[in-house]
A and B are shown apart, each in its own frame.
Chain A
Amino acid sequence: MAQHIVSPEVHEHHTQEQESLKTAGFWLFLISDVILFGTLFATYVVLVGHTNGGPTGKELFEIQGFVISTFILLTSSFTSGLAVLQMHAKNLKGLIFWLVVTILLGGAFLFIEIEEFLTLIHEGANIGTSAFLSAFFVLVGTHGIHVTLGIFWCIGLIIQLRKHGITTVTKRKITNFGLYWHFLDVIWIFLLSVVYLMGVM
């Protein structure tokens, strides 16, 4: 084992440096994700008028649905922040509690989104109806996939937290997850603005 050759303090020092690199790398990954969503936004903005004689956003979007899901996701961003605060207070139970709340809210958000998609498809507005709807489904859907992956990631982290407790390594993982979750919230705000609010104007 590693610790036999060096003292635990030295090993901890190396681990900390290693983990801080990973947060820096994760931040860069998030920026590449910004570009990814930016490209999808560009596609959407260019194609939003190309409805091919089919329904427009104004006809399709249900105000109630996207308003509720917005507040759910905003709240989950806040609760993920509370989880990080608990982590820094070294309170494992509180940390896990707020992470669970966060993924439950994330799940509720996803449920509403999937229901919205199914309703649209049922009404005959699917990905192949028009260029506008292709762009809509892919832009909003990509965000939804990110939320889904985030939930699975968080479940994995909760299991690891129960096994290892709050260590340098799990701390870095939770920090990165928190960044990811806030990032998804920010992306959603722009989705809300550009897709939904401008759509129903």
Chain B
Amino acid sequence: MWDSIKEFAADFFVTGDPLIYGADVSIALVSIAIVFVLTYFKKWKWLWREWLTTVDHKKIGIMYLIASLLMLFRGGVDAILMRMQLALPDVEFLQADHYNAIFTTHGTIMILFMAMPMMFALFNMVVPLQIGARDVAFPFLNALSFWMFLFGAMLLNISFVIGGSPDAGWLSYPPLSELSGSPGRGQDFYIWGIQISGIGSLATGINFIVTILKMRAPGMKLMKMPLFSWSVLSASITILFAFPILTVTLALLFLDRYFGAHFFTLDGGGMSMLYVNLIWMWGHPEVYIVVLPAFGIFSEIVATFSRKTVFGYNSMVFAMMVISVLSFFTWVHHFYTMGSSADVNAFFAITTMAISIPTGVKIFNWLFTMYRGRIKFDLPMLWTMGFIPCFLVGGATGVMLAVAPANFQYHNSYFLVAHFHQVLIGGVVFGYLAGIYYWWPKLFGFKLDEKRGRWGFWFWNIGFYLCFFPQYFLGLDGMTRRVYTYGWDRGWAALNFASTAGAFLMGVGFIFQVWQIAYSVRKGERDKTGDIWNGRTLEWSIPSPPPVYNFARVPQVQHVDDWWREKEDRENGIVRPQPELEPIHMPKNSGIPFIMSSFWFLIGFGFTFDWIWLVIIGFLGVFGSMYARSFTYDVDYYIPVDEIKKTEQKLRGATT
């Protein structure tokens, strides 16, 4: 009996590495602490009612934000560990297999469980406010998306203490990721973690397309819509078309591993390169999915802090839509070296270069917006200024990589690593951080501290260049990605050491930001006006934080930057008429999204450990939840006029 328990535990828990034991202890302690605090302060009911069952887009956005910041921390720790291992030649800090696991989880977490949820956080926090809506089109589905993401992310994250981490790279190319190459549990955690959260992402894409197309405030024609909402629309369209491909590709890999199919195996007629072809049909659009909203954020910020309408609004819209469609026609540039025909490589080299044209248009538009503007360098604008040169260099090295014959030199080298970090950190992370600084006061009612934020900004930026510029040269010197150690004879020591120093500086920048948030919660400047930046779009016309129904009256939109125009009108003594208040129609909370997602978690966990009974329980639970939802007809309620009046008076003072 004791022996069989021991045997089970040895298979179930990851053992052997002191780092892992340290993680075990800290996870156990944190969990106990959370349970203790919730119980001590009697907060369980509050947690369930206010957060776990909420369908309010603002709260869902906040939960996405918290989760993504935690994931940024985990992915960042992975990065620091890797850089410590590579700081000098012949370091014996991490073993080869441990290093493999770390670069795999770093990539997977940063793209799928950090960038995606941070993007969805901004979607949720901003879009309904910006288009004058009271929630998204499908609030229930929105909650479901969040919980699917969270349980998927948890599935991948527990792998490093239970069952073992995936270690076949962030896109898990077969045949290495097949059963023959990765017999462990980690690969199954990877498949199911991404699969479950991927369904949530697809649902979010659909949700925001319908929200933006059908729920704009009256008068807000598409071509009067704020550019961030446009960027969300273009990203959501890309999600709609890209994510099913990911679902299929991972499902086929799962079938190979679980049912002995031969899609990507080396025997049985399978083609492992078919996987690479399919996964990049999703993977390339995916990088545009995460960067398009960043473009939208910069457009809002540049206009607000330059006090000007954005330059070339139409070309901005056009550029984003072109990017979202073109992104589906460039995927082969990730595997030029496969040995496809010259025609194939030439075609995809041209499409890849073509996509830099609309991107360039956008950069010029931002510059022209700033031209002769009275620019204020608050934190959001500071990050935008950090973004432009950084993304420009990243884009330029991207065009270098797009040249198919030259690509054979750069392929899988640190040149590539430097390039994609430059566009993903310089573009996506800088963009989302700028967006978080910009909209934080709207959601929380206070500003993030400027002084600590500036320290964070400079540590991030200097650290970034110190970390990644040396990597271009390392790549040209022949250092390939994913090597876990190298000898003194290579001559890579100095550049690698500099790079590691840069990574630590970025880590310090992150610590400053955490400090900044903690400090500002208590001492940050409170926002009484709801319009702390002197904004231009509708979200700044309501109190911060907004009431549950967002808008007491549905706004009537007349112009691009309608709120700005309304403020101008007011100065000239023109006051727009205020229609009578009406009862507001709102969706009811529901516990089903949380419950259904936890059953999905059981399915993933069951498949990972071959526990079919658990899989069956999971599927029964999922279908039970779907039926339960389908049979629920009491899904909405109304907020009476009296209550709206009271709330508005409390939030705005006696003016309304």
Chain A in direct contact with chain B (Cβ < 8 angstroms): yes
* Interface residues of A, Cβ cutoff 8 Å to B: 2, 5-6, 10, 14, 18, 20-22, 24-25, 28-29, 31-33, 35-36, 39-40, 42-43, 46-47, 50-52, 127-132, 134-135, 137-138, 152, 156-157, 159-160, 164, 169, 173
Q: How far is the CA of A14 from the CA of B554 in the complex (A)?
A: 14
B579 to chain A, nearest CB (A): 15
Contact B633 A32 (CB under 8 A): no
User: B263-291: which residues lie under 8 A (CB-CB) from chain A?
Assistant: 263, 265, 267-271, 274, 278, 281
Question: Which of B59-67, B205-213, B351-359, B421-429 forms part of the interface with chain A?
Answer: B205-213
Contact B247 A36 (CB under 8 A): yes
Contact A131 B269 (CB under 8 A): yes
Q: Is B630 close to A, CB under 8 A?
A: yes
Contact B137 A25 (CB under 8 A): yes
Q: Is B583 close to A, CB under 8 A?
A: yes
Smallest Cβ-Cβ distance to A34: which chain B residue: B244
Which of A21, A29, A42, A47 has most chain B Cβ within 10 Å?
A: A21
Q: Which chain B positions have C-beta within 8 A of A31?
A: 240-241
Contact B247 A138 (CB under 8 A): no
One of A5, A25, A36, A52 near B262 (C-beta < 8 A): A52
Contact B271 A14 (CB under 8 A): no
Q: Which chain B positions have C-beta within 8 A of A25?
A: 137-138, 141, 206-207, 210
Q: Which chain B positions have C-beta within 8 A of A2?
A: 636-638
Q: Which chain B positions have C-beta within 8 A of A36?
A: 244-245, 247-248
Q: How far is the CA of A160 from the CA of B633 in the complex (A)?
A: 10
Question: Which of B11-19, B154-162, B253-261 forms part of the interface with chain A?
Answer: B253-261
Q: How far is the CA of A29 from the CA of B241 in the complex (A)?
A: 10
Q: How far is the CA of A159 from the CA of B631 in the complex (A)?
A: 9
Per the CB 8 Å criterion, the residue count for chain B at the interface is 48
Contact B633 A132 (CB under 8 A): no
Contact B270 A50 (CB under 8 A): yes
B interface SS class: helix
Q: How far is the CA of A160 from the CA of B249 in the complex (A)?
A: 36
Beyond known contacts A14-B585, A29-B206, A36-B245: 16 more, CB 8 A cutoff: A2-B637, A2-B638, A6-B583, A21-B137, A24-B137, A24-B214, A25-B210, A32-B241, A32-B243, A35-B244, A35-B245, A127-B261, A130-B262, A130-B269, A137-B261, A156-B631
Contact A47 B269 (CB under 8 A): yes
Q: How far is the CA of A43 from the CA of B281 in the complex (A)?
A: 13
> How many Cβ-Cβ contacts under 8 Å join chain A to chain B?
128
Contact A32 B240 (CB under 8 A): yes
Q: Is B640 close to A, CB under 8 A?
A: yes
A interface SS class: helix
Smallest Cβ-Cβ distance to A4: which chain B residue: B638
List 27 A–B pairs whose Cβ atoms lie within 8 Å, in order of A's numbering. Answer: A2-B636, A22-B138, A24-B214, A25-B137, A28-B209, A31-B240, A35-B241, A36-B245, A39-B244, A43-B278, A50-B269, A50-B271, A127-B261, A129-B268, A130-B262, A130-B268, A131-B271, A132-B269, A134-B255, A134-B256, A134-B262, A134-B263, A134-B270, A137-B261, A138-B251, A157-B630, A164-B633
B250 to chain A, nearest CB (A): 11
Q: Which chain B positions have C-beta within 8 A of A129?
A: 262, 268
Which of B207, B210, B262, B263 has most chain A Cβ within 10 Å?
A: B262
Contact B268 A128 (CB under 8 A): yes
User: B620-653: which residues lie under 8 A (CB-CB) from chain A?
Assistant: 623, 627, 630-631, 633, 636-638, 640
One of A22, A135, A157 near B263 (C-beta < 8 A): A135
Q: Is B71 close to A, CB under 8 A?
A: no
Q: Which chain B positions have C-beta within 8 A of A135?
A: 263
B158 to chain A, nearest CB (A): 28
Q: Which chain A positions have C-beta within 8 A of B245?
A: 35-36, 39
Q: Which chain B positions have C-beta within 8 A of A40?
A: 248
Q: How far is the CA of A21 from the CA of B133 in the complex (A)?
A: 14
Q: Which chain A positions have C-beta within 8 A of B274?
A: 43, 46-47
A27 to chain B, nearest CB (A): 9
Contact B271 A32 (CB under 8 A): no
Q: Assess A128 versus B583: contact at CB under 8 Å? Given A35-B241, A43-B252.
A: no
One of A21, A39, A134 near B278 (C-beta < 8 A): A39
Q: Is B297 close to A, CB under 8 A?
A: no
